[in-house]
Amino acid sequence: MSDPDPNASDSELRARLGSLKSAIRQAEVNEKPGAGPAGEDKALAGAMSSGFRAATDLAGGVIAGALIGYLGDRWLGTSPFLLIAFLVIGTIAGLRSVYRLGSRPTSGSGGGPKAN
């Protein structure tokens, strides 16, 4: 960078200050989430992350319910009753978890404060 000219006129300094302000504004816009080519990749990664989270929550609920029901049936000797009951409970718990994940607001929903 070159040193500023000490003999520069006021209008030249104002022009340089204006160009600096516009460059700073452009840099701030490019750093916002979802802006530029890297923002699309981050949005896709976030969507895939939410999808995998929903799938594992649902599968985890069903598997945990089935496992608890199966072990309870073996322990108490009540053949399919606890398995069916806990399978239903696990499925409901998994679906509730997926619903709660889907109803959560996203980070890019513009509800936050704006910077001036």
Q: Is residue 15 part of a domain?
A: no
Spatial distance between the Cα atoms of 94 and 65, rounded to a whole number of angstroms: 10
Give the tokens for residue 12.
């030249």
Residue 59 within any structural domain of the chain: yes
pLDDT tens column, 6-57: 666 888 888 888 999 999 988 888 776 555 556 678 888 888 999 999 999 9
Report yes or no on 70 lying in a domain. yes
Alpha carbon separation from 69 to 16, 28, 52 (Å, rounded): 73, 55, 26
pTM (2 decimals)?
0.56
Q: Which domain holds residue 99?
A: 37-103
Is 41 among the domain residues? yes
Residue pLDDT, tens place only, 50-107: 999 999 999 999 999 999 999 999 999 888 999 999 999 999 999 999 999 988 876 6
Q: Structural domain tally of the chain?
A: 1
